[in-house]
C-alpha cells in the first residue's frame, strides 16, 4: 500500500505543470521587446474570466504618449491577471511565475503590452516624478524590473 501511495505521489508530481518565477532579465527582455510602450489612461477594465480567485482582465487604454517604434492606436488593449478571491474561496499563497496587476479606471500608467490585445508586460502607475522623467528624457533613464519600471539610480 505504501509503495502504491508513493508511486501515485511521484506520478502526480511529475505530471503537474511547472511554473516558477523567471530570472529578472527575462521579464526585462519581454518588456523591452513589447510592441506597445506608452503613457496611457485606463479607460475600462473588464473581467473576462474568474478561476480559483484569479481574474483575467481586459484593459482598454487611451494613449497619452507613445515610446514605441511602431504607430499605436489612440485606443489599445491588453490583458492581465489579478488575485481577487471571493470571500468563500480559499485565500492561498500564490506560487509560480505569474505577476499580477490591478488596473483601475482613470489611472494614468506607463504600460507595455506584447502587442495590441496581448499580455500586459509592464504596468506602473505614474507618480509626478516618474511622469516628469518620462516626458523630459523618454526611456533613457528608465530601467525595467519585474513587470514594472523605475528611474535608474533612484
Assigned domain for 59 exists: yes
CB 119, CB 27: distance < 8 Å: no
Tell whether the model's pLDDT for residue 9 goes beyond 60: no
Enter the C-alpha cell of residue 121.
508586460
The string of DSSP letters for 89-141 reads: S--PPP-SS-------TT-EEEEEESSTTEEEEEEEEPPHHHHHHHHHHTTTT
Question: Structurally, how many domains does the chain consist of?
Answer: 1
- Residue 141 confidence class, pLDDT cut points 50, 70, 90: very high
Enter the C-alpha cell of residue 130.
516618474
Question: Residue 59 maps to which CATH number?
Answer: 2.40.50
Structural domain containing residue 83: 18-151
Assigned domain for 101 exists: yes
Q: For residues 7 and 51, which has the higher predicted lDDT (pLDDT)? A: 51
Assigned domain for 4 exists: no
Predicted pLDDT of residue 45: 97
Predicted pLDDT of residue 83: 85
Assigned domain for 9 exists: no
Q: For residues 121 and 53, which has the higher predicted lDDT (pLDDT)? A: 121
CA distances from 39 to 66, 77, 124 (A): 6, 13, 9
Assigned domain for 7 exists: no
Assigned domain for 141 exists: yes
Rounded to whole angstroms, how far apart are CA atoms 111 and 65? 11
Amino acid at each position: 500500500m505504501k509503495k502504491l501511495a508513493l508511486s501515485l505521489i511521484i506520478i502526480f508530481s511529475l505530471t503537474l505543470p511547472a511554473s516558477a518565477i523567471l530570472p529578472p532579465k527575462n521579464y526585462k527582455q519581454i518588456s523591452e521587446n513589447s510592441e506597445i510602450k506608452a503613457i496611457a489612461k485606463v479607460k475600462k477594465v473588464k473581467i473576462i474570466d474568474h478561476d480559483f480567485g484569479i481574474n483575467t482582465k481586459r484593459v482598454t487604454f487611451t494613449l497619452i504618449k507613445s515610446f514605441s517604434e511602431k504607430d499605436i492606436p489612440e485606443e489599445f488593449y491588453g490583458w492581465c491577471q489579478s488575485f481577487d478571491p471571493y470571500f468563500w474561496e480559499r485565500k492561498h499563497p500564490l506560487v509560480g511565475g505569474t505577476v499580477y496587476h490591478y488596473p483601475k479606471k482613470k489611472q494614468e500608467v506607463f504600460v507595455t503590452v506584447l502587442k495590441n490585445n496581448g499580455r500586459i508586460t509592464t504596468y506602473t502607475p505614474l507618480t509626478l516624478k516618474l511622469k516628469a522623467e518620462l516626458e523630459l528624457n523618454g526611456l533613457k533613464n528608465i530601467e525595467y524590473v519585474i513587470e514594472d519600471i523605475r528611474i535608474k539610480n533612484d
